[in-house]
Amino acid sequence: MSSDNGARRGLAIAVCVKFTVDLDQLRADPATGEPDLAHARYLVNEFDRNALEEALRLKERHGGRIVGVSLLEQEPPRDLLLRALAAGLDALYLVMHPAASSGDGFTTASILAAALEEIAAVHELRRFDLVLCGDAASDTYDSQVGPRLAEALGIVPITYATRLDVSGDTVVARRLLEDRVHVVEAGLPVLVTVGSETNHPRLPHLMHILEAGQKPVTHLALTDGRDLEQSAPALQLLGMTAPPTTRKRIVVRGDDAGVVTRRLVRHLQAAGEVTL
Amino acid sequence: MTTRGVTPAGVLAFSENPDVALELLAAGRPLADAAATGLTALVVGADAEARAAEAIARGADEALLVSLPEPGRLDAETYLEAVHAAVRAQQPAILLVGSTRTGVEVAARLAQRLRVGCVTDALTLAIAGDGSLEATRRAYGGRFVARVALRSVPAIATVPANRFEPPARDESRRGPVRRIPVEAPPARVRTQALEERPRSGTDLRKAQVIVSFGRGVKRPEDVPMIEALCRELGGALAGSRPITDERGWLPFDRKIGISGHTVRPSLYVACGISGQIEHVVGMRGARTVIAINSNPDAPIHAEADYSIVGDLYQVVPALSTALREARTRQAAGTLGGQE
């Protein structure tokens, strides 16, 4: 823990958790052409599962406490909350805000920053040593909230970390850029974003799932979010459409792989799409 | 030719990647023309003078050069200070940034500092009737396109690599090159090492046929099965992000997706790839797509011309065989028989 937080009692870690639509199940609403979110199934965002796993690994090595924070428009199903808690959280804070699904990164990051400051105060911390986020949310793939949140908290972000080691007040991270590996060092506190390259989230044991039911879930009412309520979002979603596909979407069927693939080859030859 | 007058409102374009920096000029030129303002290229780092001249020849009205206090320090922190200084000096209405990992971080952090909106990975950009910047971007695994308006100034948008063709060079173009000072604060993140990742040297963007695989391939010993299909089709081997970045079974330059290549082959075969937006963005331009995936709900099927819902461990070897048989029949001058 950084000296800011007094005596060393392990790491104070916050993980931002987004509940995202299960893309495999998502359908377009036939009437509007927009995604049918009302009937969608929700999951813990894939890269946030990596963030939860990384937090748990750090806690196992250094001790400490992991709290989750999630910004939502409405109460999520209980089993979803349990899944996040079973992945290693000691406590989960929910912030209900009508702008949660606005898609405006400024609003999201500002609310999360205000929430993290309040949660830190509740836990008698000056600030969290580490804030972990996923590289991106699988639904919007904006990749903005992590770096924005770091700015809002006044701490430095380390994005696209694939390996994270904490020693004393220092963190060393291996970052994956397009064509390079960047090894960096920074003093705590930092915000780190992680992805599927970082770790393989473990499956929770039955015991963890049972324990999750005992862990505190707190609704957080923000006291200093007033200026956000009043300011118009900087980014406004005008609409969403499923673009007409130009793909043929032919499902080639058959009793076994031999039959199916011979049919596929005939399709390709007939359409002149493969030169043998 | 004459250079139009540069007004305080304008379009500022920055990418630390020299190729993407030129592509941004193609994205920014129509916006500057529509708003009757100028297009400014921001150049930071090595060869800045040469890159500034290149930017002007390719459509920028002027270039801003940033001299860094520590010329060797090229990280997101430094670029952020450079872009922030340029925005203060130029007061642009629109800031375009290349959608590299570094670029997106810089754009998002600057947007938070300035309390403005930012759209990442914009597909199209246009100035709306009320003067706001309208953009489209993919959402929900690429199956939907979101239309957004940015009402704050500056409006910040990141533009993916390979989305726009760099404008042609015009040696007769002239424009001012201004130098602005930047005082970068002491580094909070120190670079210990910056290593090149191993590469295959294959340019996937030139491949006519690409056979690509993802998480559905379970073990590295199974990759030769995909390679065999690739040889039958005379294609180039590629992978999704988990294969190159998570498992390291292929070098990074064989990655298709947002963080890898955007390709336009005539035939693309996706084996065991679910079809997340990260991947789909990279292969959408293929003429014909074949998807092999055991999950009938996998989004990749919606992106395919031909889908086989089945176990790739059976389908891939069978497809190699079917192709070989078809070739043999063709060589023998016979028509394919009915099964």
Q: Which residues contact A122 (CB under 8 A, 6 or more apart)?
A: none
**Banded model confidence at residue B309, pLDDT cuts 50, 70, 90:** very high
Listed ranges A222-226, B4-8, B242-246, B312-316; the one with the highest mean pLDDT: B312-316
DSSP-derived secondary structure for A212-250: HTTS-EEE---SS-HHHHHSPPSEEEEEEE-PPP----E
* Structure tokens belonging to residue B291: 């998807």
Residue A16, SS3?
A: strand
Confidence of residue A4 (pLDDT cuts 50, 70, 90): very low
Q: Which carries the bigger pLDDT value, residue A270 or residue A55?
A: A55
- Rounded CA gap, B35 and B109, in Å? 26
Q: Chain-centre distance of CA A265, in angstroms? A: 41
Q: Is the CB of B118 less than 8 angstroms away from the CB of A235?
A: yes
Q: What pLDDT, on the 0 to 100 scale, is given for residue A276?
A: 67
pLDDT confidence of B154, banded at 50, 70, 90? very high
Do A29 and A35 meet the contact criterion of CB atoms below 8 Å apart?
A: yes
Mean pLDDT of chain B, nearest integer: 91
Mean pLDDT of chain A: 90
Q: In this prediction, what percent of chain B has a pLDDT beyond 70? A: 96
Let me know: does A199 contact A163? Beta carbons within 8 Å: no
Nearest to A17 by CA among A43, A54, A44, A37: A44
Could you tell me what percent of chain B has a pLDDT over 90? 74
Question: Which of B192, B195, B336 is closest, CB to CB, to A266?
Answer: B336
Q: What integer pLDDT is reported at residue A224 of this predicted model? A: 56
Q: Which residues contact A231 (CB under 8 A, 6 or more apart)?
A: none
Indicate the helix (H) or strand (E) that contains B159.
strand B155-159
Closest chain B residue by Cα to residue A231? B115
Cβ–Cβ < 8 Å for B23, B166: yes
Residue A83 φ/ψ, nearest 5 degrees: -65, -45
Tell me what pLDDT residue B258 has. 82
pLDDT value at residue A245: 78
Going from N- to C-terminal start, the domains of chain A cover 11-230, 246-276
pLDDT digits (tens, 9 = 90+) for B179-193: 998 887 888 999 999
Q: State yes or no: pLDDT of B104 exceeds 70.
A: yes
For residue A57, what is the enclosing H or E element?
Answer: helix A46-62
**CA dist., res. A95 & res. A108, Å (int):** 11
Q: What distances in angstroms separate CA A172 from CA A32, A250, B9, B190, one per listed residue?
A: 48, 49, 41, 9
- Give me B32's structure tokens: 């500057």
Q: From the candidates A18, A20, A23, which should be mutated to test the interface with B, based on the most B CB atoms within 10 A?
A: A23
A233: pLDDT confidence band, cut at 50, 70 and 90? confident
A186:B189 CB<8 A: yes
What confidence score (pLDDT) does residue A155 get?
A: 97
pLDDT for the residue B295: 95
Q: How confident is the model at residue A231 (pLDDT cuts 50, 70, 90)?
A: low
Q: What are the tens digits of pLDDT across the range B205-217?
A: 899 999 999 999 9
Q: A234-268, pLDDT tens digit by residue?
A: 899 999 998 877 899 999 999 899 999 999 999 99
Q: What pLDDT score was predicted for residue B4? A: 41
Of B100, B143, B191, which has the smallest distance from its Cβ to A178's Cβ? B100
CB B97 within 8 A of CB B159: yes
Cα A49 to Cα A83: distance, rounded to the nearest angstrom: 10
| Closest-CA residue of chain A to B266 | A273
User: Computed from CA positions of residues A93, A25, B149, B127, in that sequence, does the dihedral angle turn out positive or negative?
Assistant: positive
Q: Which helix (H) or strand (E) holds B144?
A: strand B144-150
In this model, does residue B143 exceed pLDDT 90? no
**In this predicted structure, what is the pLDDT of residue A252?**
95
* B30's tokens: 């129509």
Q: What integer pLDDT is reported at residue A51 of this predicted model?
A: 98
Per-residue model confidence (pLDDT) at position B174: 95
In chain B, residues 108-127 whose CB comes closer than 8 Å to chain A:
108-109, 111-113, 115-121
Determine, for residues A182 and B309 on separate chains, whether the beta-carbon distance falls below 8 Å.
Answer: no
Tokens describing residue B327: 């070739």
The pLDDT tens digits of the residues spanning A105-146 come to 999 999 999 999 999 999 999 999 999 999 999 888 999 999
The span from the first CA to the last CA of chain B, in angstroms, equals 68
**Helix (H, G, I), strand (E, B), or coil: what is residue B312?**
helix
For residue B158, the SS3 value is: strand
Which class in CATH covers the domain with range A11-230? alpha beta
Which residues in chain A have their CB less than 8 angstroms from residue B339's CB? 259, 262-263
Query: How many CB pairs lie under 8 A apart between chains A and B?
Result: 272
Residue A88 pLDDT > 70: yes
Q: In this predicted structure, what is the pLDDT of residue B184?
A: 78
Over range A30-45, report the average pLDDT: 90
Distance from CA of A10 to the nearest CA of B (A): 22
Question: Residue B197 contacts by C-beta under 8 Å, 6 or more apart in sequence?
Answer: A179, A180, A181, B251, B252
| pLDDT tens per residue across span B1-29 | 333 443 448 999 999 999 999 999 999 99
Question: What is the pLDDT at residue B235?
Answer: 95
Average pLDDT value for residue range B32-40: 94
The pair of structure tokens assigned to A16 is: 């931002």
